[in-house]
Structure 1
Amino acid sequence: MYLNRQLVKILEDLGVPAENFLELENQMVEQIRRITESPLNAAIFLETNRVGISTKMPFIFRFLDELNLSFGGDSFLSHVVEISVLSQLRDVKYRSRISVEQGVTLYGIMDETGFLEEGEIYCTFERPGEKGKLKKCVLVGKNVVVTRSPALHPGDIQKARAVNILPSGSPLRALSNVVVFSQKGQRDLPSQLSGGDLDGDLYNIIFDERLIPPNIHPPADYNAVPPMDIGRPVSQRDITEFFVKFMETDQLGRISTIHMQLADRAPTGTLDPNCKKLAEMASTAVDFSKTGIPVDMSQCPRHDMIRPDFMATSPHVTVQRSGVAFDEHDDDDDNDAVEALDPDLRSFRYYESEHVLGRLYRAIDEKKIFEDMHRHIQSDHRVSAGVDVMTQVWMHVTRETALIQWEAYKPLAREIREMYESNLLDVMYDFSMHSRYPLTEIEVFGGNIVGRNSGSTNRRIRERTIEMSKRFESDTAFIVQRIVQGDDGDHDEALARSVACMAIGMTEQSRFGNMFGTLQSWKYFAAAVCLQQVEVFKDKYDPFW
């Protein structure tokens, strides 16, 4: 699971030392630094963060490791890793998205057996075991933290007893990757966690001793807001008007921002009455879609234009042919005209926060870390030897497929490539956040939008990144299907088709391009598919290989 700023702040206010968070952050930064040490580390990083899965990039990095080749010798592969690393660093710095290995995020369900007592949970999850197989684990501990997001009230974090003493034949033993809550007690635990329920909510379970707070605050107890009763059946017009009203009155993001601002300045942090009031307003805002009752912003506590330094916007970044570049000065022409009119987004002044979020923020110099990693990649002796990585991969493929007749599939390979690159260009333009600049090929291929006006603090950018990734994954899945199955479901010629696709990528230049130059990713995508098909072919005919 991952921490976020809201959880970090509440845990600090409940007594968790700042040094514990800094230790976890340093561990994560060191893990990020080690990514450049080998292609295998890069592959594991990409797999863990679900980067390049549809384009099979982790597979090609693992193959480079087997051949003792450095991805630093190939600018495109280097940039795929760099953009993923930058996105991860920005998440840590600007969102405090810190990995907690001794923590899990699971769906919550109720104990239908009635075995669990009040305050007890049954938490079962899977972790990688020997030879990559998943191993079932059951958490046992007197004090574990249970919470869910969003968490603004200090009572949104509670403790529970994780137990594994179940009667023989208990149906709970068959469960996996869930947290089971007791049905006993005056108030169920999920409802104590920012109004949670068991209709699909995710819960965070933390069993890292460094993050177990010495103090616990009573949970919030808000009066239930009755839903609006219009006194008649709902019509299509009602739905339309409700949607428009929701868009007009959605204040959750603004409330959360003010809460973070005031919590840093209040002596008691999130325990301050103003912060508790904002937490209650956030609860009303969250329930608006169910109740139809908008939050009353006239009740919002007074706040000014002075914010802690960790709330400052991230620097602009451009993704170029030469790699990722940090902009020293913002381009005023790129500012959002609508945002410039919003009084909540203008003329902020910042101070150095003494609390944990400020210390976590200042502990990371993303530009320096990124530049150090870039130098480390380029200093690899295999890079200085001038080895062309993709040429070596192509030589391996031609040796392994010397008896395969693939030349006849070159026309089909060109057709498939044209479809891939046409889809890629569509995604670059359709998901751009700027009217003048499409996304770069690296951003789409790497699954991370980090270009101009797209800092990781921007929720809209993160949502657009998810949408873009889904679209590109769907497109590439269809391309892989055409390569492997052909147009008539013929799997027997999958290897021949994949070799033809890679050959086209290695010998023919793309006819597609834009202001950033011609497209490059096809040969890497085709190479990954081809290498995978080589392995499939070898496994199938292993006795004769």
Structure 2
Amino acid sequence: MDIFIENIPSNATREQLKIAIANIIHGPEYRVHSPTPMNLDITIFRKPRKNGTKCGVVTLPSVAVANQFLATHGPSSTQSIFVGLRLLFKRSNKPPRSNIVEEVRRMPYIDPRIVEEQELRSQELLSHQVKIACLQFGWECRDNVFSVEWEKSQADGVLGDMVYNDERREFRIYMDGTDRVHIAVIHIAQIASVGSNVDGTHPVICFSLRQPPTFESDSPRHTSEGLGQNLIEKLLGLNLFDIKPPKRRRHAFFHQSHASTAMYTSSAIRIVCKSRADLQTFRSLCGEAHVRLDNSVPSAEYRRLFSEEVQTQFTEWLKTLSWKIAFQLESIVRKLLADPTELLLCRGRIERMISDEGEPYMIAFLRYFATPLTAWFWYDEEEDEDRPFAGSVDELFAQCASSFVLPTKKALRPAAIDPDNLFDCLHVTISPTRMQLDGPYPERSNRVMRSYPHNHDSFLRVSFVEESKLQIRLDPEVDGRAFIKARFGNFLHEGLIIGGRKFNFLAYSQSALKEHAVWFVKDFITPEGVPVTAQSIIASLGDFTRPDPQLVYCPARYAARISQAFTATDSSTEVEAEEIFRDEDILDPTGRWNFTDGVGTISREMAIAVWKELRKKRRKARRSTTYPRAFQVRFQGSKGMLSVDHRLEGKVITLRPSMIKFEAPESTNIEIARAFDKPGPFYLNRPLIMILEQLGVPYETFEALQDRAVRDAQNAVRSLARGARLLEAYGLGASFKLTSVMLSLDKMGIDPPTDDVFYQRMMDFAVNHVLRELKHHARIPVKDAWNLVGVADIHGYLNEGEVFIHVVPTDGQQPFFFEGQTLITRSPTIHPGDVQVARAIGAPPPDSPFANETLRNCVVFSTKGSRPLPACLGGGDLDGDVYCATMLPELRPRTTYEPARYTPALKKLLDRPSTMHDVADFVTEYLYSDSLGLIAIQWLLIADQSTQGIFDNDCMLLSDLHSDAVDYPKNGNPVSLQRIPKLKMRAKPDWNAPETVTSLDPSKYYQSQRAIGRLFRAIDLPAVHVINDAEREQRRRLRRTGQNANPDLDEIINNFHAADPLEDDEVTVAVYERVMDFIAAGRHDDDLISELWELFQQYTSQLHSICTSHTLSNKRGAMLTEEEVIIGTIVAKCSQPRKRKDLMSTMRERTATLAQEVGLQIEGDEGTLPYKSLERAWVAYRIANLEDDRFGARSFGWVALGEVFDAIKKIEESEGYF
């Protein structure tokens, strides 16, 4: 309630009034309203009255509190409050502002004097300047020398200064220039170590950073402005969308003269202070910042490791080498594992190795060589027994080369690699300062890659990220747009040079664009002698002026059509022209709505042929007695879905106008983006819970579902079967088939191996992953709810509002038909109308078309009515969108809301046909204008803050803006930040705090009373202390691997024969006894042991590469643990969980391919008898056990164990056990 205040002195402040009134309402007589001090808000109107005083309003948390206050301090009271003058209070004649009332009710009272003290402390710390005499960027050498690669000093002894900003938790280094101030910003979290001491006569500070600092420049008068109250407002979100001209600029380097070495030398900084007093000032600042400070600093030398001459010499050498070798060598330097001079010293050895052993050998060796190079940076004083290699890189190279054995050709090119559906992809990651090279990794292919099967190494997948590897985010105080154009836009327009080869921007897929990733290509010549360029590839894709001549006038739409050729697909089967039919779309009477938007049909015979072809290319595909009834496809210039039509005869497909995007008649191969052969599990999420709650679903429903999920996670460690089901429910361990292997072990009566540290850590990481998903995303599994692809009722059988659903689960449940009231929705949900209730018709009547074809695992939508139901669900269509369906009555909303209209936004058109230069402009703009995630989280925050929840006008506006942001990649019109509504209050709900925040600041976060807030607080995440132990143990194993990379083969064979499996652990003994039921598991051929030992080495090398390239850390030598990779999770906390999710996704894809490759190699060539495959699998498993102190051995053992059980199953099936 608001109380009007009069007679406020003109010089009185909000803080003074707040303290005076708080002294009253925090008295004992008010404790009946709240056991804790109540909050209040003060507003003082700007315009003074004639007598010079001002008026204002105090907002109190409730009417009862306001009435009590007025009873003692109102117009007829005798008690007074003085702030210079006697304040006069009376009931306000205007309703209180709802957002202010909510903020007062939710937020704790914070004494303004405490806030003022904090601000004064921050300003005090800012005033403590460390005077800089000389600033140096360099390289931390292996002999503990700091090689100065760039420096600036001042003749008068003062170059600049360094200050500490407590609110931002960062050190800021300033250097005055002629017209700009150059700034290096070091956030506390970036610091790996920092030391200070006197080196000779110079007081020195040395920073070793996990990632480069942020480089900025500013005009001299802005060096310290805006870091006080303005900063607080920014952090609290008040000015997030107040677009003002940014004051500062961002750069890829500290100073123009630093540009040539910045990408290599920005993570090591040496500061020579003006005096020893500055050293003491810095030590005091480190104490305030809680930064651990070492008392030692490395000595400095000028070794010119990255001089222009050295870089030129290195690049010219790379030009003489084959591209694949040059890529691996430059990758070592770009990852900061070695400097160019160290590799140049190895030049003679490298060139001899190429001459003697050949290119494949050299490439395999260089990828392997990265392991001991990485381990070099892991020395820890506490781990003396594992002291790393002490020589030079050249000596380490020689040591590794002497013991390296080239894997067999079979291991170099595993049989699982299908050239039609997988290809080896090279990766480049470009950040504001650095560029990192990775790969090659097997990735799912696309139309363009299949067109050039011998030139995959000419393509690069290039990602644009922050130094932290997170998605690019703009600081409103920095001109980020100009920086993105200068840094990333320059590569898109001018190309990038790697290993002396120039690559040009080519295109992107729609999914890759969302991840800020694109394709680059270098000019090449095919084996047939045809020259290929980026321009010729685009020209070969088809005619983009047909059927829509206006398409090429919209760069975004033009690029979206090109992107169809880069969608990850599987090649299936060729289609003759006479097998392609055209049919019209089914429209509503007005012609506005399309009931078959994006979906055509396919005959049963063709669907079976497509599925047979897909399975033939997957030797390890699971057995299937049927075929999918729906496929997401790319065919010629069309895209969308094909669902089975039982009336079509022969091998036939039918396309509709809504599917055909451009003309590409030369392509006759059906490309499969996805085959919907099974129903998908369904999980709740925060936006959907927010909507369902406000449509009448009680909190207790969500609570019960979450409680069950928590119990399942906590009980997972009690048995192998429970653990297996948990992994299966959350898609964990799928790359290594852990669910299947654990269930097989459970059937043998084996208990969880509690004394196996690796297994325990593995399951700890799995449980942590599940609980983290529940707490931070409300990702709650729902039994009897499914994600199903949408298709159209082409027969016109269903009435408006009806659906037909036939689900065939894969977990042993009986198939069933949905019948009755069914909740239908689609992710993402952001509007109350995105959740609807349809009527499922149940089992098909005998006379219905569904009696002939039930279209299993699909949602069949009606083609009758005024508007298609999919279009009501977040603007969905039928080109591959997946819909959630459940008959659970407890999740059914008590009321439904009219769907949003989802009016298409206008296209951004040019007055001429688009070029790829225009597409590059669009990608550059997208990097800084992509606001989809921002809009989604703003909607959720306002829905939590507002008393009207999701029905708040701002939420309704945001749902429209969200639709525009979804369409932005296809129409080129970005959503202006100025259109995005501001938050209702400064504080945010507690569930929005980044997971990296361990203690919530009550001035920034309030306890949300919405369901998602209560669910968030209901889960306490266990501290995963074992991650540190796992990382430490892995470092030790890798160092031991590096020191004894390839032990004598005879020693391996002798150890194998000497070991007795009956003296091993319980699991090994049980497996041994099971294997003995089928084969003699005693003596084995030495050649077989040798072959599988080589396979094990190749596996560990590739696994190491995956671990190093999928870590969130940018620190030199950082990598994931083997336990994380086998489970398929990343334990590290992240302020952008989406980035971790993307990394986990690619990591799982690559480990799945690797595990499948290794499994096929263990199984043997096609045609190998199951008994022989079982022997091979047992030998591989024993090798893993005997070498379990090596990195990769434990996960290799799980792969081998899976092959053991697969072979046994084949033997039993062939001999009639089933």
TM-score by length of 2: 0.39
| 2:839 pairs with 1:184 | no
Equivalent residues of 1:407, 1:500 under 8 A apart: no
Letter in 2 for 1:136: P
Report 1:204-353 matches (<5 A).
204-303=884-983, 304-315=985-996, 349-353=1004-1008
Letter in 2 for 1:201: D
The residue matched to 2:783 in structure 1 has which SS? Answer: coil
1:148 match: 826
> d(CA) in 1 for partners of 2:938 and 2:1009?
18
Listed one character per residue, the Cα deviations across residues 31-66 of structure 1 (whole Å, up to 9, x for unaligned) are 222212211111222233332233232233223322
| 2:841 pairs with 1:163 | yes
1:92 match: 774
2:752 match: 70
Letter in 2 for 1:163: I
Give the CA RMSD over aligned residues.
2.8
1:27 match: 708
| 2:1140 pairs with 1:461 | yes
Residues 181, 260 of structure 1: alpha-carbon distance in 2 compared, 3 angstrom cutoff = same
Letter in 2 for 1:449: I
Residues 444, 203 of structure 1: alpha-carbon distance in 2 compared, 3 angstrom cutoff = same
| 2:1091 pairs with 1:412 | yes
Equivalent residues of 2:728, 2:739 under 8 A apart: yes
1:194 to 874, 879, 895: 874
Segment drifting more, 464-473 vs 294-303: 294-303
Residues 171, 244 of structure 1: alpha-carbon distance in 2 compared, 3 angstrom cutoff = farther
CA-CA distance at 1:240 after TM superposition: 2.1
Residues 29, 419 of structure 1: alpha-carbon distance in 2 compared, 3 angstrom cutoff = same
| 2:1188 pairs with 1:506 | no
Letter in 1 for 2:802: E
| 2:797 pairs with 1:123 | no
Equivalent residues of 1:13, 1:268 under 8 A apart: no
Equivalent residues of 2:1158, 2:1199 under 8 A apart: no
CA-CA distance at 1:176 after TM superposition: 0.7
Higher helix share: 1
Residues 166, 68 of structure 1: alpha-carbon distance in 2 compared, 3 angstrom cutoff = closer
CA-CA distance at 1:305 after TM superposition: 4.1
Listed one character per residue, the Cα deviations across residues 470-511 of structure 1 (whole Å, up to 9, x for unaligned) are 01100111111111124x763453122212212212223565
Residues 535, 5 of structure 1: alpha-carbon distance in 2 compared, 3 angstrom cutoff = same
Letter in 2 for 1:483: I
2:1198 match: 524
Q: How many residues align?
A: 491
Letter in 2 for 1:69: D
Equivalent residues of 2:1111, 2:1120 under 8 A apart: yes
> d(CA) in 1 for partners of 2:1025 and 2:889?
31
Residues 294, 348 of structure 1: alpha-carbon distance in 2 compared, 3 angstrom cutoff = farther
> d(CA) in 2 for partners of 1:389 and 1:348?
55
> d(CA) in 2 for partners of 1:167 and 1:64?
45
CA-CA distance at 1:188 after TM superposition: 1.5
CA-CA distance at 1:402 after TM superposition: 2.3
Segment drifting more, 219-228 vs 418-427: 219-228
1:172 match: 850
| 2:746 pairs with 1:79 | no
Listed one character per residue, the Cα deviations across residues 406-425 of structure 1 (whole Å, up to 9, x for unaligned) are 33311011101001111110
Extract unaligned runs of 5+ from structure 2: 1-681, 1027-1062
TM-score by length of 1: 0.83
> d(CA) in 2 for partners of 1:56 and 1:204?
27
> d(CA) in 1 for partners of 2:766 and 2:823?
31
Segment drifting more, 166-175 vs 350-359: 166-175
Residues 357, 48 of structure 1: alpha-carbon distance in 2 compared, 3 angstrom cutoff = closer
Letter in 2 for 1:198: L
| 2:476 pairs with 1:476 | no
Letter in 2 for 1:389: E
| 2:1012 pairs with 1:357 | yes
1:324 match: none
> d(CA) in 2 for partners of 1:535 and 1:70?
22
Listed one character per residue, the Cα deviations across residues 82-101 of structure 1 (whole Å, up to 9, x for unaligned) are 21121111111111111121
Equivalent residues of 2:683, 2:782 under 8 A apart: yes
Equivalent residues of 2:735, 2:1149 under 8 A apart: no
Report 1:27-66 matches (<5 A).
27-65=708-746, 66=748
Residues 96, 55 of structure 1: alpha-carbon distance in 2 compared, 3 angstrom cutoff = same
CA-CA distance at 1:329 after TM superposition: 8.8
1:440 match: 1121
Residues 369, 91 of structure 1: alpha-carbon distance in 2 compared, 3 angstrom cutoff = same
Q: Which has the larger radius of gyration?
A: 2
The residue matched to 2:885 in structure 1 has which SS? Answer: strand
> d(CA) in 2 for partners of 1:445 and 1:58?
12
Equivalent residues of 1:64, 1:70 under 8 A apart: no
Equivalent residues of 1:73, 1:387 under 8 A apart: no
Equivalent residues of 2:768, 2:1024 under 8 A apart: no
Equivalent residues of 2:1081, 2:1175 under 8 A apart: no
- Counting aligned pairs with the same residue, the percent is 30
CA-CA distance at 1:150 after TM superposition: 0.9
Letter in 1 for 2:1066: V
CA-CA distance at 1:539 after TM superposition: 4.4
Equivalent residues of 1:484, 1:491 under 8 A apart: no
CA-CA distance at 1:134 after TM superposition: 5.8
Segment drifting more, 195-204 vs 74-83: 74-83
> d(CA) in 2 for partners of 1:226 and 1:414?
61
CA-CA distance at 1:251 after TM superposition: 0.4
> d(CA) in 1 for partners of 2:813 and 2:888?
21
Segment drifting more, 49-58 vs 474-483: 49-58
Equivalent residues of 1:441, 1:519 under 8 A apart: no
> d(CA) in 2 for partners of 1:98 and 1:118?
31
Higher strand share: 2
1:107 to 784, 789, 807: 789
